[in-house]
Amino acid sequence: MIEVEALTKRYGSTTAVDGLTFTARPGTVTGFLGPNGAGKSTTMRVVVGLERPTSGTATVDGRRYADLPAPLHAVGVMLDARSVHPGRTAYKHLLAMAQTHGLGRARVREVLAQTGLESAAHRRAGTFSLGMGQRLGIAGALLGDPATLVLDEPVNGLDPDGVLWVRRLVRELAAEGRTVLLSSHLMHELALCADRVVIIGRGRLLADASVQEVVDRSERAGTVRVRTSEPELLARELLAAGAQVTPQDGGVLHVRGASVDGVGTAARRCGATVLELGSESGSLEEAYLQLTGGVVEYRTAGTPGGAR
């Protein structure tokens, strides 16, 4: 269990994390979301004791990370994939990690097998591809068989096979009763493997809820999409019934404040021909973009020159 309370971290005049509070619970995959520079990595580094909070606390199982008697068994950490000396082989890197907690070579070979790195075990980490580096990072996190896992962008650079593997892995880890805190930029990936999401922007909490709750907050959620041959006629009818209507191209209307049944009845009433009708569900990606829209640190400018 990870508890972050009123956490603030400043570097000089820059505030990276600003009064952040959230909890990652056992048996749950907690997705950690936010634009670049929002403070995700900083928060994770404070949680695992690499950085000291300016104020507030971050605890694992009720203790400050630095006070954990056996950190490797309490928390499995994968921050930057480049947390390895490039001149060291994967095997020796994991062996040195294991030795700090008195684990044997057998356990190192186990996690190498589990992460599919056996054939690369005696290659120097500097020669690894991004995806192999990620696997090595995950191997290090699994090494101590920890009750809590902190994974920063674990699927970054993995091939589709690897992405699927990580998804199954974190689901299983949570199913075994472990706490998993995982950050990612891949929304649909998080939507598939996370139970809850914590969304931050500019160091502040924007949302802390279950994936479904966040998805339901997106503007499109709960709207009805209808395609008709007489959009103006139907729009008038729906407006009269008190719904909000947003006309789209191709005779499509987005209707808020009316059910699918209601729209179908309205169409029959006014004599408009319905070509397509269905309820819309939001997506995590949309909800995220709407939440963080105002707080993006590095915004993409329009296409240069606008000419194609």
Partner 1 sequence: MTTVVPAARAGRRRPHGAPARTGPTLPRVLAAEWTKLTSVRSNVWLALGTVVAVAGTAYGLGMFVRPDDGRSGSWVVTSGFVLAQLGFLVLGTVVGTSEHTTGTARTTFAAVPRRLPVLGAQVLVTAAAALVTAVVALGASYVATADARAGGAPGLDLSVPGASRALLGFVVACVGVALLGLALGALLRRPADALVTGVVLVVVGDQLLAANPGRVTDTVRALLPSSGARLLQDDAALAALDAATRGPQLGTWGGGVVLAVWVLAVLGAAAYRLRWHDVG
Partner 2 sequence: MSAATTTPGGARAATAHPGPTVGRVVAAEWTKLVSLRSPWWTAAVTVAVAGVLTYLSAEASSGDPGFQPVDSLSTGLALAHLGPLVLGVLVGAGEFRTGASRTTFTLVPRRWPVLAAQVLVMAAFALGTAVLATAASVLGILPAAASRGIAVDLTSGDTPGLVLGMVLFLVALALLGLALGALLRRTVPALVTALLVVLILPVVLMTAGDPLAGGADPASAGLAEAVPSTTVAGTLAVLSPGGAAQLMTTSPSAGPMPGAPDLGPVGGGLVLAAWVLVVLVPAAVRLRTRDVR
Which residues contact partner 2 by CB under 8 A?
Answer: 45, 48-52, 65-66, 68-73, 75, 77, 79-80, 82-89, 92-93, 95-97, 99-104, 107, 110, 113-116, 140, 142-145, 147, 161, 165, 168-169, 172-173, 176-178
Least separation in angstroms between residue 204's CB and partner 2 is: 21
Query: What residue ranges bind partner 1 (CB under 8 A)?
Result: 304-305, 307
Looking at beta carbons only, is 40 or 178 nearer to partner 2?
178
Looking at beta carbons only, is 135 or 196 nearer to partner 2?
135
Least separation in angstroms between residue 156's CB and partner 2 is: 15
Least separation in angstroms between residue 67's CB and partner 2 is: 8
Looking at beta carbons only, is 69 or 306 nearer to partner 1?
306
The three-class DSSP label of residue 5 is strand
Looking at beta carbons only, is 102 or 304 nearer to partner 1?
304
Contacts of 172 (CB under 8 A, 6+ apart): none
The option from partner 2, partner 1, none interacting with 96 (CB < 5 to 8 A, set by class) reads: partner 2
Selection from 54, 59, 55, 86 nearest residue 71 by Cα: 59
Selection from 199, 174, 175, 173 nearest residue 185 by Cα: 199
For residue 35, give the DSSP letter. -
The option from partner 1, partner 2, none interacting with 225 (CB < 5 to 8 A, set by class) reads: none
- Whether the CB-CB separation of 34 and 41 falls below 8 Å is answered with no
Q: How many CA atoms lie within 13 A of 70 on its CB side?
A: 12
Which helix (H) or strand (E) is 216 found in, with range?
helix 211-216
The three-class DSSP label of residue 126 is helix
Selection from 282, 305, 262 nearest residue 212 by Cα: 282
The option from partner 2, partner 1, none interacting with 59 (CB < 5 to 8 A, set by class) reads: none
The option from partner 1, partner 2, none interacting with 304 (CB < 5 to 8 A, set by class) reads: partner 1
Length, in residues, of the chain = 308
The option from partner 1, partner 2, none interacting with 93 (CB < 5 to 8 A, set by class) reads: partner 2
Encoded tokens for 270 = 């006014």
Least separation in angstroms between residue 181's CB and partner 2 is: 14
Least separation in angstroms between residue 10's CB and partner 1 is: 21
Looking at beta carbons only, is 48 or 211 nearer to partner 2?
48
Least separation in angstroms between residue 151's CB and partner 1 is: 25
Looking at beta carbons only, is 12 or 306 nearer to partner 2?
12
What whole-number distance in Å separates Cα of residue 258 and Cα of residue 242? 8
The option from partner 2, partner 1, none interacting with 169 (CB < 5 to 8 A, set by class) reads: partner 2
Q: Where are the beta strands (DSSP E) in 158-273?
A: 179-183, 196-201, 204-210, 224-228, 244-247, 252-256
What whole-number distance in Å separates Cα of residue 308 and Cα of residue 304? 9
Residue 79's beta-bridge partner residues? none
Least separation in angstroms between residue 122's CB and partner 1 is: 21
